Amino acid sequence: MKLTLIRHGKTEGNIKGLYYGKTDLPLLQEGIEVLEELKRNYNYPQAKKYYTSGMIRTEQTFRILYDDTPHEVLIDLREIDLGDFEMRSYEQLKDDPDFQIWITGDNEANICPNGESGNAVTERALAALEPIIAAGEDAVIITHGGVIGGVLCRLFGKGTRFDYKAEPGFGFTVEFVDGKPVSMEKVPLPLEK
């Protein structure tokens, strides 16, 4: 079974370097154009089942990459709720004592004020993925960078979520054997010319 996790296209939050997750931002025109170019030049994985987190940016990305292919929404694959840090930049937050605690401590366990922790995001995402993996059918999911990083870090048991960074429109395919992850490759792959 192959599980593919692809990050949505670029948004205002990406371009401006904002901390954002729960804010339901659309793709920028630039993000749309980049995804359209990627689709022309890369081979995106196909699967039996398709999913998104249901957020606008994942729905738009899905439609660009997979057209009108039927898919389901799994809201537990949405991005982290950054609470009081949401839609703010490092410059705006750097002197905030709560922010300093969050970034200098264990930011997997630390909870954003009025938000959630990285661990909470990973736990809810893994719970959403459990029946998909158990079904043993290839699946493609358009989701978020933090979700992808947290899930892969937990599945492979090494590094941090930041070691599994996916650029917008890119991601990873994980192969499972008997419900266990055995390998991973970056996707999409360039089209053979």
- Summarize pLDDT for 92-150 with one digit per residue, the tens: 999 999 999 999 878 799 999 999 999 999 999 999 999 999 999 999 999 999 999 99
**18-19/171-177 β-pairing:** unpaired
Can you say whether the dihedral through the CA atoms of 9, 12, 16, 20 is positive or negative?
negative
What is the SS3 string spanning 161-180?
Answer: HHHHCCCCCCEEEEEEECCE
Asked if the model's pLDDT at residue 78 lies above 70, the reply is yes
**189 by DSSP, 3-state: which?**
strand
Strand partners, 71: none
Higher pLDDT among residues 67 and 104, named by residue: 67
Strand partners, 187: 171
Structure-block tokens of residue 172: 């990873």
* Position 146, amino acid: G
Domains of the chain from N-terminus onward: 2-137+146-190 (3.40.50.1240)
d(CA 192, CA 24): 36
Spatial CA neighbour of 49 closest among 147, 153, 132: 132
Q: Where does the pLDDT of residue 18 fall: very low under 50, low under 70, confident under 90, or very high at 90 and above?
A: very high
Query: 45 preceded by cis ω (within 30°)?
Result: no
What is the per-residue pLDDT for 160?
Answer: 86
d(CA 76, CA 190): 30
Angstrom CA distances, 64 to 13, 33, 111, 121, stand at 20, 10, 34, 26
What is the per-residue pLDDT for 159?
Answer: 85
Q: Strand (E) positions, 57-170?
A: 72-73, 88-89, 139-143
What is the per-residue pLDDT for 124?
Answer: 98
What is the per-residue pLDDT for 44?
Answer: 97
Q: For 43-50, what is the mean pLDDT?
A: 97
Mean pLDDT of the chain: 96
d(CA 172, CA 193): 22
d(CA 15, CA 70): 30
Containing 68, the helix (H) or strand (E) segment is: none
What is the per-residue pLDDT for 192?
Answer: 75
Can you say whether the dihedral through the CA atoms of 167, 146, 59, 77 is positive or negative?
positive
What is the per-residue pLDDT for 7?
Answer: 98
What is the per-residue pLDDT for 193?
Answer: 60
What is the per-residue pLDDT for 106?
Answer: 84
- Block residue for tokens 């993925």: 129
